[in-house]
Amino acid sequence: MTLPHPNTDQISLPIVLAVLGDPTRLAIVRYLASKEGVALNCSQFLDLGSKTNLSYHLAKLREAGVTRAEVVGTNRMITLRRTDLDARFPGLLDSVIAAAGDDPALPAVGGHDIEVPA
* Distance separating alpha carbons of residues 47 and 114, to the nearest angstrom: 14
| Structural domains for the chain | 8-97 (1.10.10.10)
Query: What tens digit of pLDDT does each residue of 19-35 get?
Result: 999 999 999 999 999 89
Long-range contacts of 5-9 (CB under 8 A, 24+ apart): 5/62, 5/65, 5/68, 5/69, 5/81, 6/63, 6/64, 6/65, 8/65, 8/84, 8/87, 8/88, 9/88
- Gyration radius (Cα) of the chain, Å: 13
Give the per-residue pLDDT at 111: 54
Give the per-residue pLDDT at 106: 78
pLDDT over threshold 80, residue 93 = yes
Give the per-residue pLDDT at 113: 46
